[in-house]
Amino acid sequence: MIALIGLIVGVILGIVFSPEVPAWMDAYLPVAVIAGLDAVSGAIRSMLDGNFSDKVFVVSFLGNVAVACILVWLGDQLGVGAQMSTGVVVVLAMRIFANAAAIRRKVFKA
C-alpha cells in the first residue's frame, strides 16, 4: 500500500513540477529505467516464489542500474555508445521477459 501511495505521489509531483533531464543524462536515463524494471520484475518473481528479500532487492536494483550505466558510459568512451545502449537494453529486456513468463506461469499455474 505504501508503494502505491509513493507511486501516486511521485507521478503527481512529476506532472506538477515537470523536471528537466540534463542533456548529459540522455543516454543513461532509458537504460537506468530498464535496469530498474528488471530488478522490479525479479522482485515480483521472487515474491511469488516465496523467497523475496528486501536487502537483495535493493542491492539488485542499485547494482543493475549502476552496471548498466557504467556499460553505457564505457561504450561512450569507446565511441560505440549507441550500440552498447542497445546491447544493454536487449539483455535486460530478455531478463524482463523471462521473469514475466515465470510470473505468468506462477499466477496462472501453467
Residue 10 belongs to a domain: no
Q: List Cα–Cα distances, 37 to 17, 65, 77, 80, 109, in angstroms.
A: 24, 10, 26, 24, 24
Q: For the segment 14-65, what is each residue's pLDDT rounded down to a tens digit?
A: 999 988 989 988 889 999 999 999 999 999 999 999 999 999 999 999 999 9
Residue 41 belongs to a domain: yes
Q: For the segment 78-99, what is each residue's pLDDT rounded down to a tens digit?
A: 999 889 999 999 999 999 999 9
Question: Whole domain around residue 35: which residue ranges?
Answer: 22-108
d(CA 103, CA 33): 20
Residue 29 belongs to a domain: yes
Number of domains in the chain: 1
Q: Is 78 exposed, middle or buried (0-12, 13-18, 19+ CB in 10 A)?
A: exposed
In the prediction, which pLDDT does 26 show?
87
